[in-house]
Amino acid sequence: MEWVKALKRHYDKIFVEEWPGTIAGILLGFLIVLIFAWGRTWGVQGGLNNWGDWFNYLIGLSKPLGISGPPESPLRNSTSLMSIGLLLGAFAAALMSKQFAIRIPPPLEMVKGAIGGILMGIGATMSMGCNVGGFIAPVTSFNMSGWGMWLGMIIGAALGIKILLWEMEHISWGRKNIQKFSATDKKDTYKPFLGILIYMAAIFWGVRYLTSTEEGLKFLGGVLLIGTAFGVVLHRSRFCFSRAFRDPFMIGDGSMTKGAILMILIAILGNALLIYNGSHAYYDALTPVFWAGSVLGGIIFGMGMIAAGGCASGSLWRAAEGHIKLMITIVFFAWTGSVWKALLVKWDILQLHMDMTRPGSYLTKLGVTFYMPKEFHSWFWTLVVSLGLLAIWFVLVVYNEATEKFVVVK
């Protein structure tokens, strides 16, 4: 029947076909503003750190690392719950599109996944956030450390690609698949129904929290639902920040980068209105690591995401799709981030101190907080600098698409 065929076409367009980068940019920008309005910034690394803290606690490493007592429950930690929502949303989307399958990579790729996770854990700790919490959240909350990490990730991505090219030429070990257990079966008709059940479970969980009499659970309910929406959009668009930083250097393609720029533009404008009208969520993104921590952390993180083949958020949604390599990345990211943060705090490198020269500001040995509206004494110049840097990024991407001037793979 024609109406059934038409219905299937619409289903495929929404749940099977890849969404355009511009649509992803618009939706992600809206979700960043929505989570900001709900009372916090988008984040991933904090949740992974919470999981790593629990692992260290269970194996007895907490005391040597100076971590006191059991960590906060992953179901009560807002960043952890947001990441769980992202996993659920991406998992359901992968099932709905019949794209979920266990994908076992060659041994070398597993090693690269572990190395990438370690580097991202170290880099994200130094910049006090991953590509989301260390870059997107500060940039869209007008903390200059986000732009420091942006610069670092560009440098790190370029270096990571150089290392990748060297590895392809000099390392032949571990490139052959151990087992071919990765093909998706388009006839798996049960997968969409399982995906619907996952969606329903995530929504039920979120609504259950929202309708709780406990105020903290109400907040977490919104976080879980918005996190689930992030997972759906990221998977359906296959949106990954590692591609946004990698593709211009590898193939001269800036389509994913333009989607990221559009997302940031929408979030900057939306969050500016919320902050100007009295929202205080921007304090979540005032990381005192500008400039040394943000730039150096960004370089290390950028190299890690090239090795892993995914950023923090990208690793999560790809793991939810069944990629073993990215599951390994998440494990090493979470554990390394937990250990490295504990050590840097123990060594007084990431201990927060009041900045006596700038009242109301904080500093660490890796940098200071730099909240642009406060430092510039002007929202006008804050937006000029933020939008100006975004415009420069866009112009460089378009220039590179036309000339391939920055392409390192010739």
pLDDT digits (tens), the chain, 410 positions: 788 788 888 888 889 999 999 999 999 999 999 999 999 999 999 999 999 999 999 999 998 998 878 999 999 999 999 999 999 999 999 999 999 999 999 999 999 999 999 999 999 999 999 999 999 999 999 999 999 999 999 999 999 999 999 999 999 888 877 554 544 555 678 899 999 999 999 999 999 999 998 888 999 999 999 999 999 999 999 999 999 999 999 999 999 999 999 999 999 999 999 998 876 655 666 789 999 999 999 999 999 999 999 999 999 999 999 999 999 999 999 999 999 999 999 999 998 888 877 777 889 999 999 999 999 999 999 999 999 999 999 999 999 999 999 998 76
Give the range of the structural domain holding residue 211, as residue numbers without chain letter: 19-403
- Determine contact, residues 301/131, Cβ cutoff 8 Å: yes
Domain-located, residue 227: yes
Domain-located, residue 39: yes
* 354 phi, psi to nearest 5 deg: -65, 135
Q: How far apart are CA 239 and CA 31, in angstroms?
A: 14
Domain-located, residue 13: no
Q: How far apart are CA 216 and CA 200, in angstroms?
A: 22
- Determine contact, residues 130/47, Cβ cutoff 8 Å: no
Q: Which one, of 306, 162, 146, lies nearest residue 240 by Cα?
A: 306
Structure-block tokens of residue 141? 């909350």
Number of domains, the chain: 1
Q: Write down the pTM of the prediction.
A: 0.94
Domain-located, residue 6: no
Ramachandran quadrant class, 290 (left: phi over 0; alpha: psi -120 to 50; beta: rest):
beta
Domain-located, residue 203: yes
Sign of the torsion angle spanned by Cα atoms 268, 271, 275, 281: negative
Domain-located, residue 248: yes
- Output the pLDDT for position 243: 94
Q: How far apart are CA 29 and CA 259, in angstroms?
A: 10
Q: How far apart are CA 10 and CA 331, in angstroms?
A: 37
Structure-block tokens of residue 54? 């629990």
Domain-located, residue 10: no
- Output the pLDDT for position 381: 97
Domain-located, residue 5: no
